[in-house]
Structure 1
Amino acid sequence: MLRRWGLSGVLFALAVTYGGSRLLDDRLIGAVLLFGFFAGIGFVVSPWMFPRSVSAAEATRLSAADGRPIVYWRLRCPWCLRLRWALRGEARRLHWVDVWKDPSASVDAVPTVELHGTKLINPTAAAVRELVR
């Protein structure tokens, strides 16, 4: 669990260090900007924003049990990041499968959202929210 928070912790430490150093030099605007920059990136890469990915087999099993949609995504995909950002509040209510980490996750395109055999390719956040309900 701590490893997943490592990068966020480092970025928050940088935010405090660089922001604090600017604050000590009486540069309030610079301190706020540096703190906000590093803390913001730390939040974006945190497990709150990016929940843990599971395997496709585990996601299928969990989805059958709890009825939550499965989102197939990959790192550095701009459409996947856009969807993850738009769903940041509902991210914990979905099962995330990183197709680069799990080669058995065979989908035609990413992001793909699947629930009960229905697949949505590159869906809008509103469509995914409707599936979650």
Structure 2
Amino acid sequence: MRSWWIAALVLVAAGAAVVVRLVRGEPGEALVAALAGLLAVVLFSPLAFPRRPDRDRPVTVYYRPGCLYCLRLRAALGARAGRARWVDIWADPEAAAYVRSVNGGDETVPTVVVDGVPRTNPAPALVRGALR
């Protein structure tokens, strides 16, 4: 099961912000809070990362939902992100163990494997080049 708990927490916080603004009689601000909350829910959910189960992708990206560095990489890759294999380390214990093994025991993400070589938080340009 993919990690949704951060997105659920963001949804609750955004809902509370909307309710507070509505109670105060600020419908415009409530709408802005609702839209910002929905955007945050999508960004902090597994939906922001393409799910590619096949192992024949040229690049594998190990990530965690809600990781700002992972979101930065995802945004920088744009349409090319779908060419990579994205693995949620919170949903895959073997992936988490692999990330720890290549990062000195830490679950540092994004960890990107290009041509069999793991790189921790690489420059987006390097990953884009590998996805051409």
> Which TM-score tier does this pair reach, normalised by the shorter chain?
0.5 to 0.7
SS at match of 2:46: coil
TM-score w.r.t. structure 1 length?
A: 0.58
Higher deviation after alignment, 84-93 or 16-25: 16-25
Amino acid at match of 2:85: H
Give the share of equivalent positions with the same residue, in percent: 34
Stretches of structure 1 lacking an aligned partner (at least 5 in a row) = none
Query: Rg larger in 1 or in 2?
Result: 1
Runs (5+) with no aligned partner, structure 2: none
Q: Find the counterpart in structure 2 of residue 107 from structure 1.
A: 102
Aligned residue for 2:31, secondary structure, equals helix
Give the counterpart of 2:63 among 55, 69, 73. 73
Question: What secondary structure does 1:97 align onto?
Answer: strand
TM-score (norm 2): 0.58
The verdict on how the C-alpha distance between 1:9 and 1:69 changes in structure 2, with shifts beyond 3 A counting, is: same
Let me know the Cα RMSD of the aligned residues: 4.0
Structure with more relative contact order (C-alpha pairs < 8 Å, separation 6 or more): 2
Specify which of 91, 98, 102 is matched with residue 81 of structure 2.
91
**2:33 alignment partner in structure 1:** 34
Count of paired positions: 123
